[in-house]
Amino acid sequence: MALAETDTPKMTKSTHPALTMGRMLWRDKFAFFSALFLILMVLCALCGPTFLEDIATKQNLRGRNAPPFDFSKAWVYWLGGDALGRPLLARIIVAAQNTLFVATGAVICSLTIGTTLGMIAGYSRKVTSQIIMRLADVIMAFPSLLLAVIVLYMLPPSVGNLIVVLTITRIPVYLRTARAEVLEVRGRMFVQAATVMGASTPRIVFRHILPVILPTLVTIATLDFALVVLVESSLSFLGIGIQPPEITWGLMVSQGRPYLTSAWWLSFWPGLVIILTTLSLNLLSNWMRTALDPVQRWRLEIARKKQ
């Protein structure tokens, strides 16, 4: 206890909340550079297609599978060219839009829907809870690719429909986690204390339970991000996801697959971007969990002596 008491003076001198957050982000260098990388990716997604769309789709058959690091060429060719001689760097930047839109959309939707249903299942009476849980079991038991095939066979493959399909298949993960956490947290004494004070159910759920379970769910969501990117690429590979000439990182990975032995860079660069994006999200969510938890926050507030 004496430990925490000594930290308190440092905590009280905080100025503006945003400034404090920024300072805490700077303390965790990994999280700081992750944030920078993610901002860069978002910028690529927003502006990339406008400036580079033409370059990224223009074929150049003399530059087929051009090797990377050839700095005598234009900068868009520095990461090499693909099977049709299109510059990889430009394609990665342009593909960021579709990829991030599908993955972010699917992850946020499944997180929101899954958490909501999970909290209802965890907090409500037996019957409602049973119905929701069995529904989740059905989705889980059904092979997600098969489900996607069926849905996308009936609906035209578009970004919107892709998000719907990916959302449905990822819901049970959040639902089950949220429910299990709610069941544990609702038994805690501070929830009982709120009940005794007369707190309404929405208040207990949103004020007392949600903040406790959210960090776990956000962590799962960041891990899920990479998975969604890859599932999306396998759907595209099957011909029911995003179709060429549209591009996504996942699609680029699978397009480079036949050339793995001769031109590794075709799959490597988009793969690396997927890994870096996921890693950044992970590091950032890890930082966020610490920064948002009053019990842990001091770790970011005290000056680092080590390292």
Partner 1 sequence: MTDHLLEVRNLSVDFHTAGGTVHAVRNVSWHLDKGETLAILGESGSGKSVSASAIMDLIDIPPGEIVSGEILFNGENLFAMTQDQRREINGRRIAMIFQDPLSHLNPVYTVGFQIAEAMTTHGISKDEARRTTLDLMKRVGIPNAEEKIDAYPHQFSGGQRQRLMIAMALAVKPDILIADEPTTALDVTVQAQILALLEDLQRETGMGLLLITHDLGVVAEVADRVVVMNAGEIVESGSAAQVYRQPVHPYTKTLIAAVPGTGAMAEPLATGIKPILEVNHVSKHYGAFVALEDASLTVLPGETVAIVGESGSGKSTLAKTLLRLEEATGGEALYKGRDLLTMPRRELFDIRREVQMIFQDPTQSLNPRMSVFQIIAEAFAIHPGILPKPQWRGRVRELLEHVGLNATHMDRYPHQFSGGQRQRIAIARALALEPKLIICDEAVSALDVSIQAQVIHLLEQLQRDFGLSYLFIAHDLPLVRDFAHRVVVMQGGRIVEQGPVAQIFDAPQQDYTRNLMAASLHPDPEIQAERRAARQQAQEEYA
Query: For binding to partner 1 (CB under 8 A), which residues are involved?
Result: 1-8, 11-12, 188-190, 192-200, 203, 207-208, 211-212, 293-295, 298-299, 302
Q: Is-contact 241 95, C-beta < 8 A?
A: no
Judged by DSSP in three states, 242 sits in coil
Judged by DSSP in three states, 81 sits in strand
Q: Is-contact 236 99, C-beta < 8 A?
A: no
Exposure pattern of 258-291 as b/e (b: 16+ CB <10 Å)?
ebeeebebbbbbbbebbeebbebbbbbbbbbebb
> For partner 1, which is the closer residue by CB, 7 or 54?
7
Token readout for 137 is: 């079991």
> For partner 1, which is the closer residue by CB, 56 or 291?
291
**Minimum separation from the CB atom of position 2 to partner 1 (A):** 7
> For partner 1, which is the closer residue by CB, 64 or 297?
297
Q: Is-contact 158 241, C-beta < 8 A?
A: no
What end-to-end distance do the CA atoms of the chain give, in Å? 26
Q: How far apart are CA 3 and CA 239, in angstroms?
A: 59
- CB proximity list for 304: less than 8 A, separation 6 or greater: 27
**Minimum separation from the CB atom of position 188 to partner 1 (A):** 6
> For partner 1, which is the closer residue by CB, 73 or 188?
188
**Minimum separation from the CB atom of position 119 to partner 1 (A):** 16
> For partner 1, which is the closer residue by CB, 58 or 203?
203
Q: DSSP class of residue 240?
A: S
> For partner 1, which is the closer residue by CB, 6 or 243?
6
**Minimum separation from the CB atom of position 211 to partner 1 (A):** 5
**Minimum separation from the CB atom of position 98 to partner 1 (A):** 37
**Minimum separation from the CB atom of position 190 to partner 1 (A):** 4
